[in-house]
Amino acid sequence: DVQLLESGGGLVQPGGSLRLSCIASGFTFSSSIMGWARQAPGKGLGWVSVISVDGRSPYYADSVKGRFTISRDNSKDTLYLQMNSLKAEDTAVYYCVKEQPASGWSFDYWGQGALVTVSS
């Protein structure tokens, strides 16, 4: 079974940093486009970042460009999201997602999410 297990969430002060990790299993991670989506409490879904199989030319939402960095380690089946200069509006549940192959960036598996709270 496909599993995506996020970790690294928590409480951080504004301006601080946090790194999320997502360990994948049950599929060929190195052949899969991966990404991060988020959902603020009581709000709708939003995209954060997507990374290709080789890690080149990642996609970032405008709201996180220059502050967040997505990366992957195909030898460890792990996806990362380095979040710097965090703001209160970054408070959300962050989901690790896997693309359905050749679907035009539709995502068929979602982790259970990691809560990030930015507050003083």
Partner 1 sequence: VLTQSPGTLSLSPGERATLSCRASQSVSNNYLTWYQQKPGQAPRLLIYGASSRASGIPDRFSGSGSGTDFTLTITRLEPEDSAVYYCQQYGGGRLTFGGGTRVEIK
For partner 1, the binding residues (CB under 8 A) are: 37, 44-47, 50, 59, 61, 95, 100, 103-108, 110-113
Distance CA 28, CA 23 (A): 12
- Tell me which DSSP letter residue 30 carries: G
The answer to whether 8 and 79 are in contact (CB under 8 A) is no
Tell the smallest beta-carbon distance from residue 31 to partner 1 (Å).
17
Q: Tokens 């003083």 sit at which residue? A: 120
Min CB(32)–partner 1 separation in Å: 14
> Which CB sits closer to partner 1, 29 or 107?
107
User: From the CA atom positions of the chain, what is the Rg in Å?
Assistant: 13
Rounded least distance, CB 9 to partner 1, Å: 14
Backbone angles phi, psi at 74, to 5 degrees: -70, -20
Between 13 and 112, CB nearer to partner 1: 112
Least spacing, CB of residue 20 vs partner 1, in Å: 15
